[in-house]
């Protein structure tokens, strides 16, 4: 039997989708306009023109902060942009490079909820110990050290 998603949940999802979409479009638009300005100026013979790093950095700092708040899709897009030296100047890439290795972990309560919903059991039945502090965190997941309740074996929970 299919359950209906509550209206408030749908509204929150819509707001989140609109925030993500607006941010992606705005970031891509600013990068596009700055590249177009540089390409057109160079086509007229002025090869000394450089992208306006201040404009790009301002937009990319806002992008990075929002990406860390909203999650995986934006973090992955930021990681992609941070590898594109042909699109962004070095200073701008530096702003996004922190998304490669400085992604904050999810709250422990969320981790417990995900594990319990995936395994279908309370966490205490599965693990005798589950460390609150994660061993590693990335954009798509994180790793916690744990001890299985059934065997006493030390495991990594991703």
In tens, the pLDDT along 75-129 reads 888 989 899 888 888 888 989 888 887 777 888 888 888 888 888 989 899 999 9
Predicted structure pTM score = 0.65
Beta pairing, strands 136-137 & 127-130: unpaired
Rounded CA-CA distance 15/7 in Å is 12
Rounded CA-CA distance 39/122 in Å is 59
Nearest to 99 by CA among 73, 70, 76, 122: 76
Model pLDDT, residue 42 = 92
Please report, for the chain, the start and end positions of each structural domain, with discontinuous segments joined by +.
7-101, 108-157
């Amino acid at each position: 039997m299919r359950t209906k998603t509550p209206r408030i949940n749908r509204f929150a999802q819509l707001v989140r989708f609109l925030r993500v979409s607006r941010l992606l479009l705005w970031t891509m638009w600013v990068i596009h306009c700055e590249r177009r300005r540089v390409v057109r100026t160079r086509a007229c013979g002025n090869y000394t023109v450089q992208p306006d790093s201040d404009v790009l950095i301002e937009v990319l700092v806002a992008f990075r902060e929002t990406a860390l708040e909203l999650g995986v899709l934006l973090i992955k897009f930021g990681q992609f942009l941070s590898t594109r030296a042909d699109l962004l100047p070095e200073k701008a890439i530096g702003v996004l490079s922190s998304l490669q290795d400085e992604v904050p972990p999810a709250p422990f309560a969320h981790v417990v909820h995900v594990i319990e919903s995936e395994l279908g059991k309370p966490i205490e039945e599965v693990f005798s110990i589950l460390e609150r502090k994660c061993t590693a965190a990335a954009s798509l997941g994180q790793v916690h050290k744990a001890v299985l309740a059934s065997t006493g074996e030390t495991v990594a929970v991703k």
